[in-house]
Amino acid sequence: MRRRETQSKQANMLKEVKLIKRTSTGVGKAFRWASSLADIKQAKYITVCAIFLFMVSVPAFANIYIMEVLWNAMFYMLLALGLNIIVGYCGMCDLGFAAKFAIGAYTTAILVKTFEWNFWLTVPAAIVASIIAAILIGAPTLKLRSDYLAIVTLGFAEIVRITVRNLEITGSASGITVPRPSLFGIHLTQPIHWHYVFLALVVIFIFISFRLRHSRFGRALAFIREDEDAAQAMGVNTTRYKLYAYILGAVLGGVAGSFYAVKMASIAPGSFGFMQSANVLLAVILGGMGKIPGVIVGATFFVIFPELFRNIPEIAGMRTSDMRMLSFGIILVVVMIFRPQGLWPDRLKTRSLPEIDKQK
């Protein structure tokens, strides 16, 4: 019996190696070369500094449209970094991440609009609300795995969406308006203000994700992701660690939701539907689960590429919006064919068996 299991594992590993070799030509080879170059320490630092300086200088030459697109990309980066802790680091399947940032958004909106709190005091309240919600849904359900957990998280997201749509304090289906805050005497109303606020948030979220991944806690999550049964056999309390990862992901989502509410100045239940959760999950998978640069690239790709097809002409009677999404869908299919593990996957997951044997 054990011999058959060993042979089956070896066959699966050989299939993965063949898949890697097949995707190492053409576009796939170019992506692998770029990712390997970026893993060099000097090149990594230079690239990060160049991107940061570019983002800081964008308001000097960009118009409002470009700044709004970049803001949307940074917002998806925040959500994707939060979901990456749950999906990428721990290997859980979450189809209801929209509920996490909906809780943060509505907590801030209610406290600011109804109880006239200062916005900056509502952020800790949103964190507490996110922790409570994560414990309530995670504690009894995180023993489930794969598709069962996905169904539970999807159901939780729908419960949150329907609840806020029917409560009077949340503005029901019409939503709730939120006054914009001030920072150091500056009333945050201009796109340039929110560009720098969300840029600072992205830097903070990246720092948290990086420290988490290279910590003992992050290594335990990676162990659970690769083989939960083996991790449990080695003494890792898988349920507790999964709950902690779920709470951390919910906290990052809640903080992003708080800033989303005041930036948009109004929120409605339609902004927190299933498609929003699917879009964030798509950004994580498209970029490369568990890899911070991959998540950033995936979120950027997901937001910017559809904008490139905004003015595409009508063909065969199809509307411009339909042609835009059709073109984007074709691009996604092509990318996933050549890069099935994401645009920027973890190099440890993409190396072939001979490469691993050489290092040993």
pTM, 2 dp:
0.84
Q: What's the number of CA atoms in the CB half-sphere (13 Å) around residue 209?
A: 31
HEC sequence for 302-337: HHHHHHHCCCCCCCCCCCHHHHHHHHHHHHHHHHHH
Alpha-carbon span 164 to 120, nearest angstrom: 23
Nearest to 81 by CA among 266, 241, 230, 287: 287
- Whose tokens are 């063949």? That residue is 18
Residue with tokens 């991959």: 294
In one-letter notation, the amino acid at residue 72 is N
Nearest to 74 by CA among 54, 44, 103: 54
CB-based contact 347:39 (threshold 8 Å): yes
DSSP of 226-278, one letter per residue? H-HHHHHHTT--HHHHHHHHHHHHHHHHHHHHHHHHHHHSEE-GGGGSHHHHH
Q: Name the DSSP letter for residue 189.
A: -
**Rounded-to-integer distance, Cα 78 and Cα 278, Å:** 15
Bridge partner list, 183: 186
> Distance between terminal CA atoms of the chain?
28
CA dihedral sign, ordered 333, 334, 336, 342: negative
Among candidate residues 187, 197, 196, the one with its CA nearest the CA of residue 123: 197
CA 339 to chain centre: 18
Residues 6+ apart with CB under 8 A from 59: 67, 191, 192, 195, 196
Helix (H, G, I), strand (E, B) or coil at 311: coil
For 238, phi then psi, to 5°, come to -65, -40
Locate 275 and state its tokens.
């498609």
Which domains occur in the chain, in start order? 65-355 (1.10.3470)
| Residues 260, 69: Cα–Cα separation, whole Å | 14
Residue count of the chain, please give it: 360
Nearest of 237, 255, 303, 283 to residue 105 by alpha carbon: 255
Query: What local confidence, expressed as pLDDT, does residue 191 receive?
Result: 92
Q: For residues 342 and 338, give the distance between their C-alpha atoms in angstroms, rounded to a whole number.
A: 9
CA 112 vs CA 107, 177, 184, 264: distances in Å: 9, 10, 18, 14
**Mind listing the pLDDT tens digit of every residue in the chain (360 residues)?**
545 555 555 555 555 445 444 544 455 555 555 555 555 666 677 888 888 899 999 999 889 999 999 999 999 999 999 999 999 998 888 888 999 999 999 999 999 999 989 999 999 999 999 999 999 988 888 877 777 888 888 999 999 999 999 999 998 888 899 999 998 889 999 999 999 999 999 999 999 999 998 899 999 999 998 888 888 888 888 889 999 999 999 999 999 999 999 999 999 998 898 889 988 998 898 888 888 988 998 899 888 888 877 776 666 566 656 666 777 778 778 877 887 777 777 665 544 434 444 444
| pLDDT for residue 18 | 52
